[in-house]
Amino acid sequence: PPLAEVLNLHDFEAVAKAVLTDKAWAYYSSASDDEITIRENRLAYQRVWFRPRILRDVSKVDWSTTILGQNSSLPVYISATALGKLGHPDGELNLTRAAGKHGVIQMIATLASCSFDEIMDAAAPNQPFFLQLYVNGDREITRRYVQHAEKRGVKALFITVDAPQLGRREKDMRMKFVGDDAGAEVQRGQDVKKNEGVARAISSFIDPTLSWKDIPWFKSITKMPIVLKGVATAEDALMAYDAGVQGIVLSNHGGRQLDTARSGLEVLVEVTTAFRARGVRLPSPTFDIFIDGGVRRASDVLKAIALGASAVGVGRPFLYAFSAYGQEGVEKAIQIFRDEFEMNMRLLGARTLEEIVPEMVDASALRSH
Ligand code: FNR
């Protein structure tokens, strides 16, 4: 269907399913084991209800923000997703160009199909980026990668901490990996294991020994803010805060890692409750709580913000958008978010993101409330 007929982010998924190869669809859409967590990521948002306020002169509404000090036209960033060329010949550059044009921040994946430098070379002047890091067993490779990224102007380092081993995505594993389009950088010289699905075949370098003891080393090799991506409990959120990193992403990796892990939204309530009990004021100027997984509407984002998130990551919808329509698809996805923010903020009675307060949602149906 023509792009004009795409009305919401769900529509991109249906189009992508129709146009993608079986292999690409399996890799992008799959989640681990029984795919319970990926379903829960959507269901959790449906358990939170709005408490909208009225008569507030909402003629002007503004949903722009800063994320880790960088201007962003949306309280949404493009989360790292690997292997963009499975979906479109230009791969991640579709994200880069659309993000640059519309003031959105892209998190570059370690396992992007396009090389890191290709992506940076396609950037608009002063376009901000974050870098997602899978930590290599050979720390020298990781050190060089991180320091190169910092030198090229990347603004923050998101270390993925929920993937000491990749989850079993059985839909993906049923596809045989043909091995021509693995992540460009880290992949070089890597022994690609066939017949394990795309994800497993490219991830054997990820270091399962990674631990809290490594955090000071990361702080010693970079001045970029460090964010731990894949925190799933209040205990670890507090440990991250104590370790002196600048933030966390409450995430289950889009349901692709530990199946029946809780949704980020569920965890968010547990985390903010624990921080308040500790006397940490939120939002904190030195520590950001991000969340991702299952966000498909601006209303989802507004619920997360009301419950204490600084901003929200979105993965598959942008992948599906460029798989189906290239850069234009990503631009349309951003436009859809914009239109939805405008309408939802008006209807909610919030003129700025600061006016989105906890009282604007009823989250009592979230279990950890
Ligand atoms: C991912 N995600 C991911 N995360 C990460 O830290 N490194 C990676 O290489 C990838 N790769 C990846 C590939 C694909 C195909 C998907 C769908 C996801 C997880 C991603 O950053 C994010 O956490 C989720 O995608 C968020 O959930 P939604 O928005 O896809 O529901």
Nearest CA owner, ligand 1 atom 18: 81
CB-based contacts of 69: which residues, under 8 Å, 6+ apart? Answer: 155, 225
108 touches 92 (CB < 8 A): yes
> 184-189 long-range contacts, Cβ below 8 Å, gap at least 24?
184/112, 184/113, 184/114, 184/115, 184/116, 184/118, 185/110, 185/112, 185/115, 185/116, 185/145, 186/110, 186/111, 186/134, 186/136, 186/141, 186/145, 187/111
Question: Could you count the other beta carbons within 10 Å of the beta carbon of residue 215?
Answer: 18
Please tell me whether residue 364 adopts helix, strand or coil conformation. Answer: coil
Nearest CA owner, ligand 1 atom 23: 253
* DSSP assigned state of 73: S
Angstrom distances, CA of residue 218 to CA of 39, 92, 147: 34, 26, 10
What is the value of ipTM here, to two decimals? 0.99
Q: Give the side-chain half-sphere CA count within 13 A for 107.
A: 29
Of 8, 144, 90, which Cα lies nearest the Cα of 322? 90
- Please, what is the average pLDDT of the chain? 94
Question: Which atom of ligand 1 is closest in space to residue 251's alpha carbon?
Answer: 23
Q: What is the pLDDT of residues 117-134, one digit of tens each?
A: 999 999 999 999 999 999
Question: Which atom of ligand 1 is closest in space to residue 249's alpha carbon?
Answer: 23
Q: Give the side-chain half-sphere CA count within 13 A for 193.
A: 10
pLDDT at 368: 58
Q: Give residue 359 CA to ligand 1 midpoint distance, Å.
A: 31
d(CA 59, CA 288): 30
Strand 288-292, strand 65-67: pairing: unpaired
CB-based contacts of 239: which residues, under 8 Å, 6+ apart? Answer: 212
Q: What is the pLDDT of residues 8-42, one digit of tens each?
A: 999 999 999 999 999 999 999 999 999 999 999 99
**Total-model pTM:** 0.96
| Residue 92 in tokens | 């991640």
Report the DSSP beta bridge partners of residue 312: 76, 291
Q: Which residue among 12, 81, 202, 296 is best mutated to probe the pocket of ligand 1, counting the most ligand atoms within 8 A of its Cβ?
A: 81
Furthest C-alpha separation in the chain: 62
What's the distance, Cα to Cα, between the start and end of the chain in Å?
Answer: 42
Counts of helices then strands in the chain (DSSP H, E) = 14, 12
Nearest CA owner, ligand 1 atom 1: 81
Q: Give residue 81 CA to ligand 1 midpoint distance, Å.
A: 5
Question: Which atom of ligand 1 is closest in space to residue 314's alpha carbon?
Answer: 29
Residue type, 259: D
Q: What is the pLDDT along the chain (369 residues), one digit of tens a residue?
A: 999 999 999 999 999 999 999 999 999 999 999 999 999 999 999 999 999 999 999 999 999 999 999 999 999 999 999 999 999 999 999 999 999 999 999 999 999 999 999 999 999 999 999 999 999 999 999 999 999 999 999 999 999 999 999 999 999 988 866 554 444 444 443 444 545 667 777 788 999 999 999 999 999 999 999 999 999 999 999 999 999 999 999 999 999 999 999 999 999 999 999 999 999 988 899 999 999 999 999 999 999 999 999 999 999 999 999 999 999 999 999 999 999 999 999 999 999 999 999 999 999 999 755
pLDDT at 184: 45
Question: Could you count the other beta carbons within 10 Å of the beta carbon of residue 349?
Answer: 19
The secondary structure of the chain in percent helix, strand, coil, rounded to multiples of 5, reads 45, 15, 45
d(CA 85, CA 46): 33
Q: Where are the beta strands (DSSP E) in the chain?
A: 49-50, 65-67, 70-72, 76-78, 106-108, 129-133, 156-160, 226-231, 247-250, 288-292, 311-314, 361-362
Residues with CB under 6 A from ligand 1: 27-28, 41, 79-82, 109, 111, 132, 160, 229, 251, 253-254, 256, 292-295, 313-316
User: Whose structure tokens read 């070379």?
Assistant: 121
CA geometry: angle at 122 spanning 184 and 190, to 5°? 5
Task: Look up 191 and say whether it is catalytic.
Answer: no
Q: Give residue 215 CA to ligand 1 midpoint distance, Å.
A: 22
| Residue 166 in tokens | 């990749």
- The length of the chain in residues reads 369
Q: From the candidates 90, 236, 253, 320, which is the catalytic residue? A: 253
Q: Is the dihedral of CA 241, 284, 364, 9 positive or negative?
A: negative
pLDDT at 282: 85
